A = this chain, B = another copy of it.
Amino acid sequence: MVQVAVMGHGVVGSGVVEVLQNHRDSIAKRAKAELNIKYILDIRDFPDSPYADKFTKNFDDILNDDDIKVVAEVMGGVHPAYDFTKKLLLAGKSVVTSNKELVATKGAELIEIAKSNNVNYLFEASVGGGIPIIRPMVQCLAANDMIEVAGILNGTTNFILTKMIREHMAFDDALKMAQSLGYAERNPTADVEGHDACRKIAILASIAYGKHIYPNLVHTQGITKIALDDVAYAASWGGVIKLIGQVKRLDDGKLDITVEPMFISSESQLSSVDDVFNGILVRGDATGDVVFYGKGAGKLPTASAVVADMIDCAKHLKERKYLYWADGDESLVKPYNETEYPVYFRVSCEDKKAVADAALEIFPNSRILVRSDAPETELAFVTETMTVDMQNEKSAALEKAGAVILSKIRISDL
């Protein structure tokens, strides 16, 4: 019997207790030992819970109990989760988590502490909810160099974009619908501004390239400025707009890592990842493209990933799983202004003919896009590949020629 504790009894935490209970026998078989919940930590009271006798409000009960070998941290947020996790690892207990914010900001340090104390710190549930992605990247793809990792990592924004694409719903209406369905928080900033996706691509990049890529090094842009007009132009271009978290290694060894809306070709597997689903593409030099798809959030999917990590810890109480990245710094990342890609512009202008001529002179080899019902004063085009610096310089020239830039969206090479 392995004694475990669950810290946090919110959506994921209560799901973890439920999965541990409902799958008791099969888990015991897999873990080669029964997993018994000794404590559930939460500041709230749950007098009617069937597990009422297990609740504690005192973290020290868990920390000081030598019987506890594995702890699930499903509290979320950096504080106090960071402090608790550190103390548990130092005390020789393995910790598993779904806390992407903590892993993305403190992962290198916590992994190092786990290593020094010969215990495990696992976080399969921190990216992609119930989709197995971290373990396959580490283990199955061990014999590959990672060329690129790119994904639709946030279900809320993908739901909103899907409504915009399929039902021509405006952003605000789609957001309201997501909120009423419980897919978006009342304060949706972390989702719609790309912060959640940023943490996730930071974690995937750290695994793929072995050095911690901190979220503040990731150029991050949300979807709040995407208009239905842009969605229509993406369709006429031959694709859809998706919020993509992406990292690839450039020829100079630096990483191009970003979260931003992108035009994705309909030919790409990611283009058909709709609604609240997530899809993650891993491009290895030997495997080619492998895509993982599923529900990226939700109580039971996420909880089952947390429990799978608990099983793994229980099986390896005295052995470390290979999951490691060293500390990193800004030298690993290509400054965003120096990265390069083709870009879509939508502009308004009084003299369309003159501005179109200027656009084709300033951005040679561009492709003009058309959509039905476009106003006479609107122009849209897709440029060649160029650096962001160059895009900005040329944008200024285009504005001088009489254009007002309404939208500017990256064209992906996926």
A1-38 Cβ-contact flags toward B at 8 Å (1 or 0): 00000000000000000010001001100101000000
Known interface pairs A26-B145, A140-B124; A304-B290 also in contact (CB < 8 Å)? no
A95 and B316 alpha carbons, distance in the complex (Å): 22
Known interface pairs A130-B286, A293-B293; A304-B272 also in contact (CB < 8 Å)? no
**Which of A84-92, A170-178, A185-193, A294-302 is near enough to bind chain B?**
A294-302
A109-133 Cβ-contact flags toward B at 8 Å (1 or 0): 0000000000000001000001110
Please pick, from B139, B143, B145, B304, the residue contacting A143 in the complex, using a CB distance under 8 A.
Answer: B304
A284 and B142 alpha carbons, distance in the complex (Å): 26
Closest residue to A134 on the B side, CB-wise?
Answer: B140
A253-269 Cβ-contact flags toward B at 8 Å (1 or 0): 00000000000000001
Known interface pairs A139-B312, A269-B272; A287-B293 also in contact (CB < 8 Å)? no
Q: Hey, which chain B residues are within 8 Å of A19, CB to CB?
A: 143, 286
Check B295 against A287 for contact (C-beta < 8 Å). yes
A303 and B300 alpha carbons, distance in the complex (Å): 35
Q: Hey, which chain B residues are within 8 Å of A300, CB to CB?
A: 285-288
Q: Hey, which chain B residues are within 8 Å of A130, CB to CB?
A: 284, 286-288, 290
A135, A295, A308 pick with most chain B CB within 10 angstroms: A308
Q: Hey, which chain B residues are within 8 Å of A312, CB to CB?
A: 139
Check B303 against A286 for contact (C-beta < 8 Å). yes
Closest residue to A282 on the B side, CB-wise?
Answer: B294
Q: How far is the CB of A18 from chain B (nearest CB, A)?
A: 9
> What DSSP secondary structure best describes chain A's contact surface?
mixed
A139 and B26 alpha carbons, distance in the complex (Å): 12
A284 and B305 alpha carbons, distance in the complex (Å): 12
A144 sits at the interface (CB 8 A): yes
Check A293 against B308 for contact (C-beta < 8 Å). no
Check B142 against A132 for contact (C-beta < 8 Å). no
Closest residue to A19 on the B side, CB-wise?
Answer: B143
Closest residue to A293 on the B side, CB-wise?
Answer: B291
Closest residue to A281 on the B side, CB-wise?
Answer: B293
Q: Hey, which chain B residues are within 8 Å of A135, CB to CB?
A: 135-136, 139-140
Closest residue to A271 on the B side, CB-wise?
Answer: B272
A272 and B130 alpha carbons, distance in the complex (Å): 22
Check B308 against A140 for contact (C-beta < 8 Å). yes
A23 and B305 alpha carbons, distance in the complex (Å): 30
Check A294 against B291 for contact (C-beta < 8 Å). yes
A289 and B290 alpha carbons, distance in the complex (Å): 17
Q: Which positions 217-242 of chain A face chain B at CB distance < 8 Å?
A: none
Q: Hey, which chain B residues are within 8 Å of A149, CB to CB?
A: none
A315 sits at the interface (CB 8 A): yes
Q: Which positions 300-320 of chain A face chain B at CB distance < 8 Å?
A: 300-301, 303-305, 307-308, 311-312, 315, 319
Q: How far is the CB of A6 from chain B (nearest CB, A)?
A: 14
Check B293 against A290 for contact (C-beta < 8 Å). yes
Check A292 against B292 for contact (C-beta < 8 Å). yes
A285 and B269 alpha carbons, distance in the complex (Å): 25
Check B287 against A142 for contact (C-beta < 8 Å). no
Check B288 against A294 for contact (C-beta < 8 Å). yes
Check A290 against B132 for contact (C-beta < 8 Å). yes
A322 sits at the interface (CB 8 A): yes
Q: How far is the CB of A318 from chain B (nearest CB, A)?
A: 11
A30 and B145 alpha carbons, distance in the complex (Å): 12
The 10 closest A-B pairs by CB, nearest first: A132-B140, A130-B287, A286-B304, A290-B294, A143-B307, A132-B136, A291-B293, A286-B300, A143-B304, A30-B142
21 of the cross-chain contacts (CB-CB < 8 Å) are A23-B144, A23-B145, A26-B142, A27-B142, A30-B142, A30-B322, A130-B286, A131-B287, A132-B132, A132-B140, A132-B141, A136-B136, A140-B305, A142-B308, A143-B303, A143-B304, A143-B308, A272-B272, A286-B301, A288-B301, A293-B293
Beyond the given pairs A144-B304, A289-B295, 4 more chain A to chain B contacts, judged by CB atoms under 8 angstroms and listed by A's residue number, are: A23-B145, A26-B142, A132-B140, A286-B301
